[in-house]
Each structure stands twice: as C-alpha cells, then as structure tokens.
Amino acid sequence: MSLVTTTEMFKKAYDGGYAVGAFNVNNMEIVQGITEAAGELKSPVILQVSKGARAYANHTYLVKLVEAAVEENPEIPIALHLDHGDTFELCKSCIDGGFTSVMIDASSKSFEDNIALTKQVVEYAHANGVVVEAELGTLAGIEDEVVVEAGKESYTRPEEVEEFVDKTGCDSLAIAIGTSHGAYKFTADQCTRNADGILVPPPLRFDVLEECIKRLPGFPIVLHGSSSVPQEFVKMVNEHGGKMPDAVGIPEEQLRQAAKLAVCKINIDSDIRLAMTGNIRKYFDEHPDHFDPRQYLKPARQAVKDMVAHKIKYVLGSDGKA
Ligand code: G3H
Ligand code: 13P
Ligand code: ZN
C-alpha cells in the first residue's frame, strides 16, 4: 500500500465509532515506534509533521522516513499530514512535496479571513488529490507560535460550523472543546486534586461537540491537544532529574467517548515526548557510563511503541480496522 489520504479512513472511523490516531513525527525512532505498533495491531494511522518538525529534521528526511514506514508496513493505511500549516505557501510546499493531507490553521484570524485562507488551500489541495483539515475556535497552549494562556481559549461556536464548512469545502474540522496543547493543559486553579494529590482536570465540553455534530452530520471532527500526559512518565521524568510538577492531560475515558462520536482524528504529540524523555532520563540515571545513542534510544523507541499500542487499543479503538 502507498500513502493514502484520510478520506476512506475517516468514513470507516465515523461509521465504526472509533478514531484514527494522528501522531507527530520528528525523527526515525518516533516513526518506527508509532508504525510498528500500528502495523502489529492492524490499525490505520496518521503521521503528522509540524512546521517545527520540518525545520528540525528537513522535509525530505521526514518524507523518506515515512515512505520507509509505508514499505515496512504494507498492510495498514498510513497518511502523511501537515500539522498546523499557517500559510498557503507552507501548505502548497507539503502538497507539492508528497503529503496526502494538510491542515490550514487560520483559527487565530477573523471568521472571514479564516474562510478565505482555508478556501484557497482547499482549492489547491483538492486539485492535487490532497485533503484539508481546518480549525474553528482556539485552544489554550502554543499553536502556530501563538501562545494562548489557559483560561483564555475560545470554544468553537457551533452556530458557525455549517457556514464555515460550506464556504471552505474543507474535509475535516478541528474544534475547541477544552483540550489544549502541551503537557500542562490546565492550571492548578482549573482542576481539583484526587486523594494522591494528582490534578483532575475539568471535563471536556461534550455539549459543544454534540451541537457541532448535529449541525454537521457525517462530517469528521478532529481533536487537537489530546495527550493524556500519563502520570507514569511524569513520575519517571521527576524521579530521574527532571522537573515537571503538575503536568496534566486529558483523561483517556473522555477521549474514548469522543472517538465513539464524530471525532475521527485524535492528535497526540506530548505523550510521545514524555515517553521518550522519561525513558531516556531513566536510562542515563541507571547507566551513567553509557554513551552510545542506540543504547538509550532503543528503550525510548520501545516506550513510544508501547504507548501508541495502548492508545490504539484502549483510547482510539482502531485496532483491527486497517
Ligand atoms: O501542535 C503542536 C504539536 O505538538 C507540534 O509541536 O510545533 O513543537 O513541533 P511543534
Ligand atoms: P498534545 O500536545 O496534547 O500532544 O497535542 C498535539 C497536537 O494537537 C498536535 O497538533
Ligand atoms: Zn494541534
């Protein structure tokens, strides 16, 4: 199988009540960890590349790594997606350069300007067989190098979604219902604490999601900022020289619930970073004399694989859906 768009993936996910994981890739170990898990579990998967990933690893290297993963895992559909494209030129460069899906994120612009830029990208993408994700509403955290403080985010306004999708022709829509980017998704003030002192975040706005679904029946919805920030990795980081107090993510049960509804794509990046960093810190702590990168990147890659396998089985529900 060669790289695919997300059209068929999303149709099957919508009808089947599951979501496809969209995992950010920045290097070979991350690509391998994700696709080995998806391959073994016969799950579709989306590998996504941010502007920052392209700046770090170079477009060609990332595309070739993903092509290698496609060759190694011929039985599963794999899409290559631009995450948070912020200009027409960036989207065009990825469309011309082998991506099968792009996101144009003009969510920080006015409604009218968001429509105009999204439409421009959709026209070029569709003419080239590529699909487009757009966004309405703003998440807290860092998006497009725009920093939105927790508590200052704006939820998607359901009354705007139909007009937006009609006028732009986008293929999927990212909405803001209380998720946010990064490993600190909520301030301590926004949460309560459980008996172990761990922060418990406020629930996602399922009412906003349900309203959007009513107005866009059959249309694939995307959730960004959907890392769960597993406390086992936070603990690992903190026990081995790191400092990540009060890191908190989205509870897995809520993501599972969203995946059963119209949410067809769930974005995960921070959990990959945590899995790798926790394990590398632990390795360094336990083996201060080792200096071969393969020694510490191996458990880091394995941790990514195990984490992704867990998401596929227990959060996304996409195992066996390839
Ligand atoms: O949405 C943000 C993603 O986690 C990508 O992050 O821009 O640092 O690569 P990045
Ligand atoms: P997390 O920071 O929750 O992993 O979100 C990643 C994301 O939305 C990428 O677009
Ligand atoms: Zn995002």
> How does the average pLDDT of the chain come out, rounded?
95
Which residues form the pocket of ligand 2, taking CB atoms under 6 Å from any ligand atom? 24, 83-84, 181-182, 224-227, 267-271
| Ligand 1 pocket, residue 84 CB under 6 Å | yes
pTM, rounded to two decimals: 0.96
Percentage of the chain beyond pLDDT 70 is 96
pLDDT at 149: 65
Which bound ligand lies closest to the C-alpha atom of 230? 2
pLDDT of 35-74, one tens digit each?
999 999 999 999 999 999 999 999 999 999 999 999 999 9
pLDDT of 152 strictly over 80? no
Q: What spacing in Å lies between the alpha carbon of 50 and ligand 1's midpoint? A: 6
Q: Tokens 């939105």: give the residue.
A: 148
pLDDT of 322 strictly over 90? yes
* Best probe residue, ligand 1, of 138, 185, 269 (max atoms within 8 Å of C-beta): 269
Based on the residue annotation, tell me whether 83 is a catalytic residue of this protein. yes
pLDDT of 164-223, one tens digit each?
999 999 999 999 999 999 999 988 888 999 898 888 999 999 999 999 999 999 999 999
pLDDT at 321: 98
Q: What spacing in Å lies between the alpha carbon of 299 and ligand 2's midpoint? A: 23
Angle at 18 between CA 252 and CA 176, to 5 degrees: 60
Question: What residues flank ion ligand 3 with Cβ within 5 A?
Answer: 224
* Residue 78 phi, psi (nearest 5): -125, 130
pLDDT of 142 strictly over 60? no
Q: What spacing in Å lies between the alpha carbon of 289 and ligand 1's midpoint? A: 33
Mean pLDDT of 219-229: 98
The protein residue with its alpha carbon nearest to ligand 1, atom 6, reads 50
Cα–Cα distance for residue pair 315/313, rounded to 1 Å = 6
Percentage of the chain beyond pLDDT 90 is 89
pLDDT of 292-305, one tens digit each?
999 999 999 999 99
pLDDT at 188: 86
